[in-house]
Chain A
Amino acid sequence: MTRTDVMGIVSKHLANALDGIDPSAIDGSKSMKDYGANSLDIVEVVSAAMRDMKVKVPRAELNTLTNIDGLVDLLHKAKQESLAKV
């Protein structure tokens, strides 16, 4: 799974959680809040992405992120680590 794949998963779930967002136009340098997401929307996006990717990242780490790129990098790293263990 490439980083682009992870960005696609996160963008899909962000667009599902928020009305009127084009997943292909999501800018990773912005935060989910910049797109109008509230705390529960963020939990939903992160939970759905982790479920799709079959990885788990503690929210304590997620809370330190400032933009979508940071989330994508963290999820991508978690996926790489999980694959390395197999």
Chain B
Amino acid sequence: MVTLVSHPGVLGAACIAQVSGRFDRSGRRAARSLVAGRLPGQLQGAVQSRQIEFLAGRWCARRALRAIDPAANHEVGIAADGTPLWPPGFVGSITHTADFVWAAAASRRDAAAIGIDSEPIMTAARAHRLAPSIARPDEIARTRAVLGVDFAAATSLLFSAKESLFKCLSAHLGRAFDCLDARVVVSREPGSFRAMGIEGRLELDATHVHTGVMLAATDVPTRVARAQPVHRSRDAFRQADGRREAEVALGFGYGEVLVPPDQEHRGPGEERTGGYSQR
């Protein structure tokens, strides 16, 4: 069902085992594999494409775990919310697109949490519709300027970076985040971004973006303590240049301009849910 291909290079640590491949969501070959696969009860009523992507992801995850611990035959379960349940002693992350699947796993001795994500670059129309739910205008503007990409690619990249970050942090902290909780700052160093005090890596090609974040076991106490949602810094805002914007020193270390939640996405005369203009 899965044809192995090289995995994206965004997680370079040698302690991380990664497996990725192409898979076919439809057709008889996929259906045969599905019958042979181990599908949990909560996915019995899902459409076939969802069942197949699930099995493809778990197949890659098992293979990644075997690369770390060849003697064992570990399974990756599924939580009520659909997130992976990694076996004791391991952390990991799984992502899919329409025909691509990628899993990464590591021992808890080496990593506290991992988050990976792959996304197709969305259409310009979709990017303009969804951008207000994904990122602030200045995040998108910076991403476009630093990477020289268009609005859709920048929005896709920011969404993917936040998905990776939140998979990583949610697995570790046990709580969910909103896209607007994090401000992603794409670094001028190629292939790097930073958010909530945590560094991630990215790859961007003509059609897809891949991102990855890892918390090393030794990093956790300091980094997670700093990984607080942006809106929690409400009290730290101060008046600046007559506007309610301020550079907030919260350990983010990039001098990011944080916009108070009640000012997000609003330019003069602009509604919060309004679309973005083309830049």
Q: Residues of A at under 8 Å CB distance from B?
A: 27, 30-31, 33-36, 38-40, 43-44, 46-48, 50-51, 56, 58-66
Of B27-35, B41-49, B192-200, B219-227, the one contacting chain A is B41-49
Instruction: Name the A residues within 8 Å of B252 (CB-CB).
Output: none
| Nearest B residue to A58, CB-CB | B178
Of B49, B117, B119, B177, which contacts A60 at CB under 8 A?
B177
Contacts A40-B159, A51-B273 given: A31-B82 contact, CB under 8 Å?
Answer: yes
A43–B43 CA distance with the chains assembled, in angstroms: 21
- A85 nearest CB across to chain B (Å): 16
Q: Which of B136-173 contact A (CB under 8 A)?
A: 159, 163, 170
- Interface contact tally, CB-CB below 8 A: 73
A39–B160 CA distance with the chains assembled, in angstroms: 10
Contact A64 B179 (CB under 8 A): no
- B196 nearest CB across to chain A (Å): 14
Contact A64 B82 (CB under 8 A): no
A7–B43 CA distance with the chains assembled, in angstroms: 22
Of B80, B82, B122, B181, which contacts A33 at CB under 8 A?
B82
Given contacts A47-B130, A61-B176, 12 further A-B contacts (CB under 8 A): A33-B46, A34-B47, A43-B130, A43-B179, A50-B273, A59-B177, A60-B229, A63-B176, A63-B177, A64-B81, A66-B81, A66-B82
- A50 nearest CB across to chain B (Å): 8
Of B47, B119, B170, which contacts A36 at CB under 8 A?
B47
A36–B170 CA distance with the chains assembled, in angstroms: 23
| Nearest A residue to B97, CB-CB | A38
Contact A47 B129 (CB under 8 A): yes
Of B126, B163, B181, which contacts A44 at CB under 8 A?
B126
A31–B44 CA distance with the chains assembled, in angstroms: 12
Interface assignment of B50: CB less than 8 Å from any CB of chain A: yes
A31–B130 CA distance with the chains assembled, in angstroms: 21
A27–B45 CA distance with the chains assembled, in angstroms: 10
Contact B50 A59 (CB under 8 A): no
Instruction: Name the B residues within 8 Å of A66 (CB-CB).
Output: 80-82
Query: Per-position contact with A for B46-80: 1 when CB-CB < 8 Å, else 0?
Result: 11011000000000000000000000000000001
Contact B50 A36 (CB under 8 A): yes
- A39 nearest CB across to chain B (Å): 6
Instruction: Name the A residues within 8 Å of B170 (CB-CB).
Output: 63
